[in-house]
Chains A and B, each alone.
Chain A
Amino acid sequence: MKKTLAAMLIIMCAFLINGNAFGSDTIKVGVPLSMTGPYTDTGDNYWKGIKMAIDEINEGGGLLGKKIEPVRFDAQEFAPERVMQGADYLCGKLKVDSVHAGWAGWGQDVRAYGKYTAPFFADDGSQTAVDVYKQDKKQYNNIFQLTDTGINQGQSMFNVLMALPYEYPNKKAVIITADDAWGTEVGDTLKKNFKEKGWKVAMHELVPYGTNQWGPLLTKIRKIKPAIIHVEIVSAQEVITFFRQFMKKPTNSILSYGYSLVPREVVDTMGKEADGLIGEVPTAMPTPEAPTPEAQAWLDKFKGIWTHLPQAGSWAAYSGVKAWVTAVEAVGDEKKHEEVCNYIATKGYKGETGWWKWDEDHVMRAGGDVPIAHYQVQNGEMIAIFTDPPAKPYKNYKFQVPRWIKK
């Protein structure tokens, strides 16, 4: 019995120690994303952008003459100890020189990766993450957010709703959000704004994920007859069933889906049926036509590799890798983490649409060359109709009054 136990322990140890040996002719970067569980699809979107950037650099001769080697880590469902484990594995054990994440734990990630020095790029879009950062800016100097917070995105959604070339029949709004951190952040911001503008928020409902039967809520909505219904549940199943059940007997309401328009299945499943829905993507490459020729070339290349349009996060994650590469090239040594971080924070990076500049909280604030894009589904595809801030129409694309609104 003892022998078996000892043998098993030795095998276990061998496995665990084995990972330590690695060559020094490559630069390792950590990629902690969700590869299993409910967040797999978003993890996949980030990975496509990161992979594209790394392949591009390796094909172009590598970084400082060395190949970049991505090391993936399955963040699963972002349980606190899993996030910590990821940081300890990638930064502590493998000593990677940068970490490219997406949704990474809404604040826990700042704690976990802030213990190390390697630049860390996340797409949390969460005020909580920024609040954690502010507690100790020096310690968390290596943390960079690729998107603006939920509060600012909610603000932007509101700005565009008010800027639409459309006359609202009344000043009543309904807000339905998921009961997660993102949903509440956006929902509260919208509610505050509506109230300030003299609107009445007739209903503010939190719903759990997995809600498919909207009958009871729609009954209430049909009685309220609001001018705007905002739905913020980042899961295709819920928002499609909501839309279909709403359409059985629609009210004269603009349907604003915010970030919930993003899951690709919404447009793929419904096609032209979804025409009229509006929503937003932060740190976005506006589609179908990109703002600059370089951006258009990037879009075409992405479509060439992955055979579909980029989804939320792909371009942000791609740009994170590129920003880090630019900084490393300028500093001349990937191991000088602090200098690389300072370079990113002060100099920024020039991307396909223009300059990326991180603010003093290391957040890539929306605006300038990288605004939030607001879309409407037209003819079965997401069309950018506005960019914000400042809220202005995008190119020649026009808002169309949804077909269910009767004069």
Chain B
Amino acid sequence: MEHKRITVFLAIIWGVVAILPLFFGSTNFIMHILIMCLIWSVVASCWDLIMGFAGIFSFGQVAFFVIGSYSSAIISARLGVPPVFSVFIAGIFTAGLGVLVGLPCLKLKGAYIALVTFAVHMILEPVLKGDIGRALGTGGARGILTIAPMNIFGYTFTSSDPIPYFYLLFLVAVVCSVIILMVIKSHWGTAFLALKDAEEFASCLGVSAFKYKLMVFALTSFLTGMIGGFYAHYVGMLSTRMLGIDLFVTLMIILVIGGVGKFPGAVIGAFITIAVNEMLSPLGSYRPIILGGLVVVLVLALPDGITGLFEKMFSEKKQGLSH
């Protein structure tokens, strides 16, 4: 998609999302789902940036999210840092880890990168539950049960009154998506495309794969870690249960539905996936079967997700006009 069209598209999405509380503001349950949609949209967009645009098969997004949420909770509780700042510190910390994970990955290819990054996900649970985690203040297997709510200029955002928090996160999500948009539009985006299409040729021209890939690791883990912090201060409790396969699969489905490398597909994907997931919820154990089947059918029928469909419709329309 052209950059201009992406911008318009994004503006429409966020415009629609901004007015959703007008309809659902009175129902905490739906507001809660919408807040989670905002959070997942950021995580999924970051994943899309690293996997779809930069072509790095990073599977550590959930791990970075959990690292961010735990570190923000611990920083605010142990060091007494207000949550507004602790989320950023958590983001920087996660970015540091992201670079650390990224370093060995840059020498690797495809499924190897997926494995190394997924290894971070796998190791995180025993580390958080074990002695190291307990010494850091993760609460071991019990998790952290009390996390201070977000507080800005004396105003406390609590989960029982979700509308203010919705708009706070809305703002964060918009900023994140603008950052991602800028990255795609900038020199970076072009470099990624060049690297993805012909890595050797691009590096001959002086595009440093190493530098850009490391930067994308840093940026996506920063944003993911930070939004993890927002999650922690919103939900107020943390446990290693987020590391189950459920969240990982949900994020993957968001990308399938939204379209890989089709920003802002991940944002729409998040809202649709979470809504579909909730609607299927009354079906109990049939829900994951339908979801799994849906992924299979969508990958075959709509390989570029909803965004791909829109693109197609749009270009057909244009052709129709020019005739």
Contact = CB atoms under 8 A, between A and B. Distances in A.
Interface of A: 1-2, 4-5, 8-9, 12-13, 15-17, 20, 35-38, 40, 72-74, 76-81, 84-85, 88-89, 92-93, 106-108, 111, 115, 128, 132, 179-181, 183-184, 206, 208
Given A93-B30, A179-B126, A1 B142 contact: no
Nearest to A2: B12
Given A4-B313, A85-B33, A93-B30, A80 B284 contact: no
A368 to B, nearest CB: 29
Given A35-B284, A72-B284, A81-B235, A16 B246 contact: no
Contact of A92 (B28, B231, B285): B28
B244 A74 contact: no
A9 to B, nearest CB: 6
Contact of A79 (B126, B239, B287): B239
A89 to B, nearest CB: 5
Given A5-B16, A72-B284, A77-B244, A93 B235 contact: no
17 contacts: A5-B16, A20-B27, A36-B285, A38-B244, A80-B241, A81-B36, A84-B32, A85-B36, A88-B28, A88-B32, A92-B29, A93-B27, A106-B142, A128-B142, A179-B141, A181-B141, A184-B140
Contacts of A4: 310, 313
Residue of B236, B241, B244 with most partner-chain A CB within 10 A: B241
B160 A115 contact: yes
B235 A80 contact: yes
Given A74-B281, A108-B145, A115-B160, A84 B129 contact: no
A74 B246 CA distance: 13
Interface of B: 12, 16, 23-24, 27-30, 32-33, 36, 126, 129-130, 140-143, 145, 159-160, 231, 235-239, 241-242, 244, 246-247, 271-272, 275, 278-279, 281-282, 284-285, 287-288, 310, 313-314
B314 A84 contact: no
A36 B287 contact: yes
A248 to B, nearest CB: 28
Contact of B145 (A73, A77, A128): A128
A79 B242 contact: yes
A5 B12 contact: yes
Contacts of A35: 284-285
A73 B27 CA distance: 17
A201 B148 CA distance: 39
A72 B282 contact: yes
A261 to B, nearest CB: 21
Nearest to A90: B29
Contacts of A37: 244, 246
Given A77-B244, A79-B247, A184 B145 contact: no
Contacts of A89: 29
Contacts of B279: 15
Contact of A1 (B29, B130, B310): B310
A107 B285 contact: no
